[in-house]
Chain A
């Protein structure tokens, strides 16, 4: 009798778990196309534009390209990791790669997340999450030499607490947050990690000398901090939630969790506006990520703008763009410029896009 009940309970649990996976993979979700204005592909990045940083004072953007993520076989990685620069003052739709010099490991430079800090003398310092072909990780700090148009290596940081970094948010010339998006180091274990719900990711803080854990056992993908360094935004991508936290230079305190029902990747913060590139249909995003250079697999894209209330507890969400994957595939970041009249959209493994925003975004 007891065993019968146990079997039934077990069967029920298995069934509800399988059903939840069906919903989680978005098997019944459909993405329709719409754009906020004319969109054009920017010549330059072809192996992705996973993250970008806009340097407002110089009106330029730096874009990371060629991300390596949970590779099945290092020999399949036939592309280079690069940083591109895009001039936002002219509408020429061409981004140029920037030379990176003095790297510790030139072969193993595949950038992922990016952040920046302006030094006291005005130099632009870039903070990059990088992986090698064999998926070992490092944080690489580069200083931009404007006159020579060259990124010069400053420091490379490796730490056991930075075990699977995805994105980075700089808080000073030598300090930053890093998000670890999980703990598994290969594709198979990563699938198990995601499906089991036991996320091994975390948010860590490096203060210039030591690293410490701020949030553990979570999935943390994109991470960005407000300009005044008081509010931190984390993408808890597996739960499809944006976590908002206050930072007092020592600890994080949770303010709210905004549910997006879409897997949002990296953020661009502008006051109380959060812009992000998302993957609305997970099964397509997963297929695309497993084989980014296979052009038969495209994943739908979505650009969302979350307008937060003053207390950051609620947000109104506007969808600027949605694409079924045939034009823009697997969007991972969106950032506006020119007083919210133009938009940059980066993708995980394909191209880079520049759109006009012709529709109202104030509701």
Chain B
């Protein structure tokens, strides 16, 4: 056997092993043998079916109000109203015989666009806020326009557009946003590539070339490099921790945030489910996360958002950090096979109630009857 033919044989086997391992890893990634069963933490009801997408939810404790962005379906060519609505935070007694029928109402906010040109293609998803001295500012990811939109809350029913930061190159794949100060925030960018086919290739290879950007009030800079498909991002101001989830690697990275916003990786929480939305319970530090648990169904649903029969399961996990800060217990307060709500994308937990938004549709409200064990 000549030297050349040996090299040829070896390289053939190596390439074959590489391709086989890629195929197997890809099949496992698709979750072909995963099944989601239905269960709720208490009685639930659909709050709204009007909008094609309720992909961003954010609780502003100081105002006792939850902001919900609606209309994400515009990114996928769905015709839908788009904007921001609010849900009032109240203590609700789930055992009361009769409920005031308006406690689950959403209030659509009037937006003063102040001449902003691209308001008809506004397609909001992730949302965060900054409150100080009675003034609340909102920051919203606008996917179709590749922008981050800045708003100020005027009163209970009105918000005013301040400015937009846009960049069709860097901000084309934004997933989520979290505020660390006035006009200072982190945003997660799912993929490096913007081109449709290159993005699919990048995700299929489970590459680690995604980024988290930091806007420091003046300009956008790279805060974390070499991330694998970063999706949800949330800052815990009480504990100075930044949580960044990896959509495909199914983990949540925990960073300690220093005074000058330097980041130090503390630990990685393995969820074995793709996280797309994070809510932090300020008092306990618990993470409530919204997931897309079965990937092949998620993909089918994202490619066919108009199809009523192609649904994707929903899952809410609660990660309770233990006192030592480096271990946790995970419970699953809510799971649905897609029949009630499809593709859970965002959430908030307040006053023993859970509000869950989805990628292309309904908003669900649940009572949490046993919060100590849920």
Please report A residues at the B interface, Cβ cutoff 8 Å. 15, 19, 22-23, 26, 28-30, 32-38, 260-262, 302, 304, 316-320, 322, 358-360, 363
Contact = CB atoms under 8 A, between A and B. Distances in A.
B33 A23 contact: yes
Nearest to A27: B28
Contacts of B331: 32-34
Nearest to B250: A30
Contacts of B339: 316, 363
Contact of A359 (B32, B37, B42, B317): B42
B206 interface: no
A29 B33 contact: yes
Nearest to A361: B39
A190 B35 CA distance: 27
A317 B331 CA distance: 19
B340 A363 contact: yes
B273 A26 contact: no
Contacts of A318: 37-39
Contact of B39 (A22, A23, A359): A359
B40 interface: yes
Interface stretch (B70-78, B220-228, B366-374): B366-374
Nearest to B336: A363
Contact of A34 (B28, B39, B44): B39
Contacts of A262: 35
B71 to A, nearest CB: 28
A33 B38 contact: no
23 contacts: A26-B33, A28-B28, A28-B31, A29-B33, A32-B331, A33-B329, A33-B331, A33-B332, A34-B332, A34-B374, A37-B370, A302-B37, A316-B339, A317-B38, A318-B37, A318-B39, A319-B39, A322-B332, A358-B370, A359-B40, A359-B41, A363-B38, A363-B339
Interface of B: 20, 24, 27-28, 31-35, 37-44, 271-273, 317, 329-333, 335, 337, 339-340, 369-370, 373-374
B206 to A, nearest CB: 14
A317 B370 contact: no
A319 B370 CA distance: 16
B40 A360 contact: yes
Contact of B20 (A15, A22, A26): A15
Contacts of B44: 360
Contacts of B20: 15
Contacts of A302: 37
B340 to A, nearest CB: 7
A30 B273 contact: yes
Which 9 A-B pairs have CB atoms at the shortest separation, nearest pair first?
Answer: A319-B37, A32-B332, A30-B272, A261-B35, A33-B331, A34-B332, A319-B39, A318-B38, A23-B33
A144 to B, nearest CB: 36
Given A359-B41, A363-B340, A29 B34 contact: yes
Given A23-B32, A358-B369, 4 more contacts: A30-B271, A34-B331, A261-B35, A316-B339
A360 B42 contact: yes
Nearest to B332: A32
Nearest to A33: B331
Q: Is the interface of B mostly helix, strand, loop or mixed?
A: loop
Contact of A35 (B43, B271, B373): B373
Nearest to B28: A28
B43 to A, nearest CB: 5
A331 B2 CA distance: 61
Question: Most chain-B CB neighbours within 10 Å: which of A28, A302, A320?
Answer: A28
A359 B369 contact: yes
Nearest to B329: A33
A172 to B, nearest CB: 35
B283 to A, nearest CB: 21
A32 B44 CA distance: 21
Nearest to B335: A319
A30 B251 CA distance: 13
B208 to A, nearest CB: 20
A329 B38 CA distance: 21
Nearest to B374: A34
Question: Most chain-B CB neighbours within 10 Å: which of A32, A260, A261?
Answer: A32
Question: Most chain-B CB neighbours within 10 Å: which of A22, A30, A316?
Answer: A30
A138 B166 CA distance: 76
A319 B38 contact: yes
Contacts of A363: 38, 339-340
A34 B32 CA distance: 23
B41 A260 contact: no
Question: Most chain-B CB neighbours within 10 Å: which of A36, A319, A322, A359?
Answer: A359
Contacts of B28: 22, 28
Contacts of A22: 28
A36 to B, nearest CB: 8
A19 B340 CA distance: 33
Nearest to B372: A38
A217 to B, nearest CB: 24
Nearest to A19: B24
A355 B179 CA distance: 42
Nearest to A356: B370
Nearest to A28: B28
A57 B95 CA distance: 31
A319 B37 CA distance: 5
Contacts of A319: 37-39, 335
Contacts of B273: 30
A271 B333 CA distance: 28
A47 B288 CA distance: 37
B42 A317 contact: no
Given A29-B33, A32-B330, A34-B331, A316 B38 contact: yes
B29 to A, nearest CB: 9
A320 B34 contact: no
Nearest to B369: A358
B9 to A, nearest CB: 14
Contacts of A320: 39
B12 to A, nearest CB: 13
A100 B370 CA distance: 41
B333 A34 contact: yes
Given A19-B24, A360-B42, A28 B272 contact: yes
Contacts of A33: 329-332
Contact of A260 (B27, B35, B330): B35
A283 to B, nearest CB: 13
Contacts of B32: 23
A317 B33 CA distance: 16
Nearest to A31: B332
A289 to B, nearest CB: 21
A37 B368 CA distance: 11
A196 B186 CA distance: 53
